[in-house]
Amino acid sequence: MKICRTKAELRDAVQGFRAQNETIGLVPTMGYLHEGHMTLVRTAKAQTNRVIITIFVNPTQFGDPSDLDAYPRDEARDFALLKAEGVDAVFAPAVEEMYDPSAQTVVETEQLANMLMGALRPDHYKGVCTIVAKLFNIAQADKAFFGEKDYQQLLVIKTMVRDLDMPIEAIGVPTVREIDGLAMSSRNVRLSPEDRQAALILNKALAYGDYEASDGREAADLENDIRAFIAREPRATVQSVDVRDAASLEVPTGQITAPVVILLAATFGDVLLIDQRVCDPN
């Protein structure tokens, strides 16, 4: 497994793969890998000849500097996991390698980036799109793999790829859950044991919402019901509950008749967790 710290090193590795006519899969991550990331790697391996994973805690997508500092990191462990999984190259650059101090170009999906989670975290998706566009340019992969857990991020990235004619396919991979239903996330390690238990309410709320969505409900009513359901867990502070059209993230009008996505964000202590489920009412 090649470990690349610079863009030049990664470009060299990519040239080597291309010289052998191999297809390349890219898995962008911020490290502190868990089973969810490994599922992305395995999906990439199944669909492409060579897999590149990037590990970069991207400062431009964090609003709060303390959230950036608190983001868990364990590079040695990540490298060992990736080697065992048979990854071909890891790109783990320093911040200075990725951002020129005089950089002035950003990528933004205007509407999608500013609704929902983007309204709660201004500039977050602009930071995501900009770094992902840079990684796409450096890695020149055929396909890139992202978890469906961050549903809005996946739509934002797919939209960027479409709008800018990027020669890459962005692929969503279903959320991987712990045995008790908690969606895997690098943030889970920051939960106290009590909050870890309390956080199970999110997956239960999604199952409840899915059941209710097939009952001719309107989106706003469903959102209220899900909010009330989560409020039964005193350790949960709901940040947002949104029921949106699964394809456009627009607010559905009238009774739910087409697939919707339920998007949840809640804090447990100071840890923000998100989860989602697509529900087909038909």
Kindly list the residues in this chain that would bind ligand PAF in the complex (CB under 6 A). Answer: 28-30, 58, 61, 128, 131-132, 150, 153
Judged on CB neighbours under 10 Å (0-12, 13-18, 19+), 74 is middle
Task: Kindly tell me the sign of the dihedral angle through the C-alpha atoms of 267, 132, 44, 3.
Answer: negative
User: Based on CB atoms, which residue is closest to ligand PAF, 147 or 209?
Assistant: 147
User: Based on CB atoms, which residue is closest to ligand PAF, 153 or 159?
Assistant: 153
User: Based on CB atoms, which residue is closest to ligand PAF, 186 or 212?
Assistant: 186
Q: How distant, in Å, are the alpha carbons of 213, 215, 279 from that of 262?
A: 10, 15, 8
Min dist. Cβ of residue 150 to ligand PAF (A): 6
Please, are residues 219 and 243 in contact by the beta-carbon 8 Å criterion? Answer: yes
Catalytic residue among 37, 121, 190, 196: 37
Min dist. Cβ of residue 29 to ligand PAF (A): 5
Min dist. Cβ of residue 216 to ligand PAF (A): 35
**Distance (Å, rounded) from C-alpha 245 to C-alpha 165?**
24
Min dist. Cβ of residue 65 to ligand PAF (A): 16
Min dist. Cβ of residue 212 to ligand PAF (A): 29
Within 10 angstroms of residue 259's Cβ, the number of other Cβ atoms is 15
Backbone angles phi and psi of 55, in degrees to 5: -125, 110
**Distance (Å, rounded) from C-alpha 255 to C-alpha 220?**
10
Min dist. Cβ of residue 146 to ligand PAF (A): 6
Please, are residues 217 and 211 in contact by the beta-carbon 8 Å criterion? Answer: no
User: Based on CB atoms, which residue is closest to ligand PAF, 61 or 175?
Assistant: 61
DSSP string covering 20-50: TT--EEEEEE-SS--HHHHHHHHHHHHH-SE
Instruction: Choose among 176, 199, 221: nearest CA to 266.
Output: 199
Indicate if 37 belongs to the active site. Answer: yes
Q: How distant, in Å, are the alpha carbons of 1, 27, 48, 88, 109 from that of 169?
A: 24, 12, 12, 20, 17
Instruction: Choose among 129, 130, 126: nearest CA to 99.
Output: 130
User: Based on CB atoms, which residue is closest to ligand PAF, 29 or 43?
Assistant: 29
User: Based on CB atoms, which residue is closest to ligand PAF, 226 or 271?
Assistant: 271
Instruction: Give catalytic residue positions.
Output: 37
